[in-house]
């Protein structure tokens, strides 16, 4: 990633800088990072509301240029930034936590939290998405990727900083070399490859398995996020940080444009000229999230760096509330999935569908029983705004509760 190896004079990656990391106050949080996380949470909810409420979601892939329109495409596309930002910032948060813990303690925390997230994905989140009490469908999604990445990071933090940074760059920049490898069938080899670097649905009769988030690229993103934490050491001048963030953001977007323009490398599917300029542009930005390609990472994280470059000066009541939301991302994630699914179930019943139609053995939008169900894009946006606003008071309460009781109730650090 262009200019990702931050220069030594910018980060001052010396013994003095390492020692200064230990001096970060225990109560310190980086407000701009929480703000970015809060913004991304709100955008994430849009995607999940779309899954359960938009009528067209049950008819075609919103990124299919033969069937979609610009509004539907961009509604889906903008939400792509959520997973890379979440996972990248999870690595950053791990670095900042490690600034006030020993590596042994941080390693233990990352290991246990990673295992907890995987269990959470397979149980609480699986049921929330599908309402399937038989758990006949298992899907590995972003919480799984976060958990696995933390387990890897638990060991990686014991390596030299430059080794972690190099590993992250090599994985993110190099994993597309594996795009040509395909393992067919329902065997264990196909499943393992899909978990590592694929995107495949497995049908075992009455049991189904879907590896949605391949661990190789997402773990690389988390490693880079961990190294990114160096930028928020107290020793780093805010003006230097802003300039570095601007270079990272502009550099990432510029590299994306070069790679994409000439279809050089970093995405398995090239862009193509379409019937008009708008759809040609949509083809150009339509990069692979599953698995996360190099071009995808560049175009999604580049704007995030630019946002962080200016976010430290964003003040006001609205920004403060969004920042508070960003302090409790997992809580919001769990609650919002259940709330969306329950409201969608009520909407389905109210429009003539059965309770069982909202119980899934495939991904929500692939359910044949729901073709014909749903609402226009405009109404779907109203559902999104209403659900987010309804969840704000609950999340703000939990943020206050967590802040007040985090010292004596250690389990709060896992939620």
* Domains held by the chain: number: 1
Q: Is the pLDDT of residue 12 over 60?
A: no
The encoded tokens of residue 38 equal 């809060």
Q: Is the pLDDT of residue 411 over 90?
A: no
The encoded tokens of residue 387 equal 């659900």
Residue 292 resides in a domain? no
Q: Is the pLDDT of residue 14 over 60?
A: no
CA distance linking residue 359 with residue 126, whole number of Å: 11
Residue 233 resides in a domain? no
Q: Is the pLDDT of residue 351 over 70?
A: yes
Question: Measuring CA to CA, how many Å separate 96 from each of 99, 227, 230?
Answer: 5, 10, 8
CA distance linking residue 86 with residue 79, whole number of Å: 12
Range of the domain at 181: 26-227+314-414
pLDDT class for 17, splitting at 50, 70, 90? very low
Q: How many helices (H) and strands (E) does the chain have?
A: 17, 3
CA distance linking residue 232 with residue 24, whole number of Å: 10
pLDDT class for 15, splitting at 50, 70, 90? very low
* Segment 125-166, tens digit of pLDDT: 999 999 999 999 999 999 999 999 999 999 999 999 999 999
Residue 175 resides in a domain? yes
Q: What percent of the chain has pLDDT over 90?
A: 83
pLDDT class for 406, splitting at 50, 70, 90? confident
Residue 408 confidence (pLDDT): 79
Residue 120 resides in a domain? yes
* Segment 18-42, tens digit of pLDDT: 334 333 333 458 999 999 999 999 9
Global pTM value: 0.91
Residue 271 resides in a domain? no
Residue 61 resides in a domain? yes
Residue 13 confidence (pLDDT): 37
- Per-chain mean pLDDT for the chain: 91
* Segment 244-255, tens digit of pLDDT: 999 999 999 999
Residue 238 resides in a domain? no
The encoded tokens of residue 190 equal 């196909």
* Segment 171-209, tens digit of pLDDT: 999 999 999 998 988 899 999 999 999 998 898 888 899
Residue 25 confidence (pLDDT): 34
Residue 117 resides in a domain? yes
Residue 186 confidence (pLDDT): 87
């Amino acid at each position: 990633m262009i200019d990702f190896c931050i220069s030594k004079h910018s980060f001052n990656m010396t013994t003095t800088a390492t020692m200064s990391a230990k001096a970060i106050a225990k109560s310190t949080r980086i407000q701009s990072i929480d703000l970015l996380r809060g913004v991304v949470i709100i955008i994430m909810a849009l995607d999940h509301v779309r899954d359960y409420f938009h009528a067209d979601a049950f008819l075609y892939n919103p990124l299919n240029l033969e069937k979609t329109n610009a509004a539907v495409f961009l509604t889906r596309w903008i939400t792509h930034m959520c997973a890379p930002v979440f996972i990248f910032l999870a690595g950053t948060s791990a670095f900042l936590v490690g600034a006030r813990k020993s590596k042994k303690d941080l390693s233990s925390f990352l290991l246990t939290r990673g295992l907890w997230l995987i269990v959470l994905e397979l149980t609480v989140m699986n049921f929330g998405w599908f309402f399937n009490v038989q758990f006949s469908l298992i899907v590995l999604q972003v919480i799984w990727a976060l958990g696995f990445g933390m387990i890897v990071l638990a060991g990686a933090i014991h390596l030299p900083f430059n080794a972690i940074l190099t590993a992250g760059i090599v994985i993110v920049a190099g994993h597309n070399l594996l795009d040509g490898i395909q393992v067919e069938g329902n065997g264990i080899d196909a499943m393992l490859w899909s978990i590592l670097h694929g995107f495949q649905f497995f049908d075992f009769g009455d049991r189904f398995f879907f590896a949605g988030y391949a661990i190789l690229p997402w773990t690389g993103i988390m490693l880079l996020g961990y190294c990114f934490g160096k930028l928020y050491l107290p020793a780093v001048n805010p003006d230097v940080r802003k300039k570095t963030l601007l270079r990272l953001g502009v550099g990432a977007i510029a590299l994306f444009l070069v790679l994409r323009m000439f279809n050089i490398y970093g995405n398995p599917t090239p862009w193509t000229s379409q019937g008009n300029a708008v759809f040609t542009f949509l083809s150009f930005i339509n990069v692979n999230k599953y698995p996360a390609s190099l071009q995808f990472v560049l175009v999604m994280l580049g704007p995030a760096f630019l946002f962080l470059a200016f976010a430290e000066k964003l003040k006001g009541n609205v920004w403060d509330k969004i920042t508070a939301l960003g302090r409790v991302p997992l809580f919001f994630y769990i609650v919002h999935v259940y709330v969306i699914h329950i409201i969608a179930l009520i909407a389905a019943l109210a429009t003539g569908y059965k309770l069982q139609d909202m119980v899934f053995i495939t991904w929500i939008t692939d359910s044949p029983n729901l073709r014909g169900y749903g609402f226009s894009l405009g109404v779907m946006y109203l559902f999104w705004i209403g659900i987010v606003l309804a969840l704000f008071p609950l999340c703000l309460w939990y943020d206050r509760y967590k802040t007040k009781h985090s010292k004596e109730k250690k389990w709060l650090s896992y939620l």
